[in-house]
Amino acid sequence: MAFLNDHYLKLKAGYLFPEIGRRVREFTEANPQAKVIRLGIGDVTQPLAPAVIDAFHKAVDDLTRPDSFMGYGPEQGYEFLINTLIEKAYKPLGVSLKSSEIFISDGSKCDCANILDIFALNNRVAICDPVYPVYNDTNVMVGRTGEADDKGYYKGLVYLPCTEENGFAPAIPQEKVDIVYLCYPNNPTGAVASREVLQQWVDYALANETVLFFDAAYEAFITEPGIPRSIYELPGAEQCAIEFRSFSKTAGFTGVRCGLTVVPEGLLARTGDGETVALNTLWNRRQSTKFNGVSYPVQKAAAAVYSDEGWAQVQETIAYYMENARLIREGLQDAGLTVYGGINAPYIWLKAPGGMTSWDFFDKLLSECHVVGTPGSGFGPSGEGFYRLSAFGDRDNVIEAVKRIRKNLA
């Protein structure tokens, strides 16, 4: 009999979102009449922008004719999409990237996980707490950790608590770590990092030869001026940071699948013998071997996000979600809840009332209001006592959910 990867057995529970799905299924089977509103997983509800659909259709039509048919594309992505991103997504931020530094993929969740392939197991890794569970769990899966303790902290990882007291901004580690995951705007807390704060991280990384994994999946939801949308807006970041971006939330591609990872050519890491090697070369090698690229129609659809028409349409949808965020935030604040996020991020992070635990509050809202959110403790021990609502719902559902919660708490 084959031996399995024992490290998987260290994982404490099922992956958070399927676990929520299981509980909701159980509830709806027992209560078929309940009209359940799902604001748990951050899945989009609004259709793709018309300009994006149009490009998608045209690209599918290209595949029907021998002269425009496309087979395997470049593993790194088509130049038309990479160049569009360089010009339209990065240049306006004052960031100049080479086409060899951008890698198109099927989403940033996969890339955040796959990136571990090119790093040695003995790296000391720091993650925030609470955190997008993929960062934690994939480190467990590859065998970088020991078992979890009673609280859920895995031995071998450095956890950076993000609490109400520190404004959900993790302190820079006192010790030297080799890799730090940062996510801004933050999932799950909705917090953002100012230029000054990000510069401190970059300075720390440069001083300690640390690599920053910067997850910018929610940059499109920043509404306040002056907040960096890319880590490369900070001087020095091109020598210490990998950035992940996604079309999922920005343009409604959660089902379509497209993301990108930036690995600057100047970003180096050490071999076991102490020599330096460019991580870009390794990531390129990894992708060429394990990945066959994103489909041509999807990349055409993604490029259309940045057309004048597409961009205007996508911005309308983002504004729609951010209005949802405002309705949730203000509606629940008025009801006396302590509420964070929802200004530069599509997530509202609220404190469960009366000292309830996250899962108790989850069960209460599910059974009494038929509203599904995400228990904060599912994102890590410091999320205990918190609860996350997603602003990606349909407007009527958002209004109804806020109404139900307010009535319940009154």
List, in order, residues 6 or more apart from 11 with CB less than 8 Å away.
137, 140, 141
The single residue among 11, 41, 110, 148 that binds ligand MLT, judged by CB under 6 A, is 41
Taking CA atoms, 62 is separated from 52, 75, 158, 298, 300, in Å, by 15, 20, 49, 13, 11
Q: Render 76-105 in DSSP notation, one character per residue.
A: T--HHHHHHIIIIIIGGGT----GGGEEEE
User: Which residue sits closest to ligand MLT, CB atoms considered?
Assistant: 42
Task: Work out whether 84 is an interface residue with ligand MLT (CB under 6 A).
Answer: no
CA separation for the pair 25, 36 (Å, rounded): 10
Give the shortest CB-55-to-ligand MLT separation in angstroms: 23
- The stretch among 41-49, 55-63, 143-151, 327-335 that binds ligand MLT (CB under 6 A) is 41-49
280 CB-near residues (< 8 Å, 6+ apart): 100, 101, 263, 264, 265, 267
Q: Measured from the CB atom, is 214 or 296 closer to ligand MLT?
A: 214
Task: Compute the chain's Rg from CA coordinates.
Answer: 21
Nearest residue (CB) to ligand MLT, 313 versus 374: 374
Residues in 173-212 at the binding interface with ligand MLT, rule: CB under 6 A: 187
In the complex, the smallest distance separating the C-beta of residue 199 from ligand MLT, rounded to whole angstroms, is: 27
d(CA 231, CA 202): 8
Tell the smallest beta-carbon distance from residue 276 to ligand MLT (Å).
33
Of 264 and 376, the one with the shorter C-beta distance to ligand MLT is: 376
What is the closest distance, in whole angstroms, from the C-beta atom of residue 225 to ligand MLT in the complex?
26
Which one of 36-44, 161-169, 196-204, 399-407 is the stretch in contact with ligand MLT (CB under 6 A)? 36-44
Of the candidates 193, 187, 184, the one whose C-alpha atom is nearest the C-alpha of residue 349 is 187
Of 112 and 237, nearer to ligand MLT (C-beta) is: 112
Are 162 and 181 within 8 A, CB to CB? Answer: no
Among 38, 109, 257, 370, binds ligand MLT (CB under 6 A): 109
What angle is formed at CA 261 by the lines to CA 260 and CA 265, rounded to 5 degrees? 135
For ligand MLT (CB under 6 A), the number of binding residues is 6
Residue closer to ligand MLT, measured from CB, 307 or 388: 388
For ligand MLT, give the closer residue by CB, 279 or 328.
328
Which residues here bind ligand MLT, judged by CB under 6 A? 41-43, 109, 132, 187
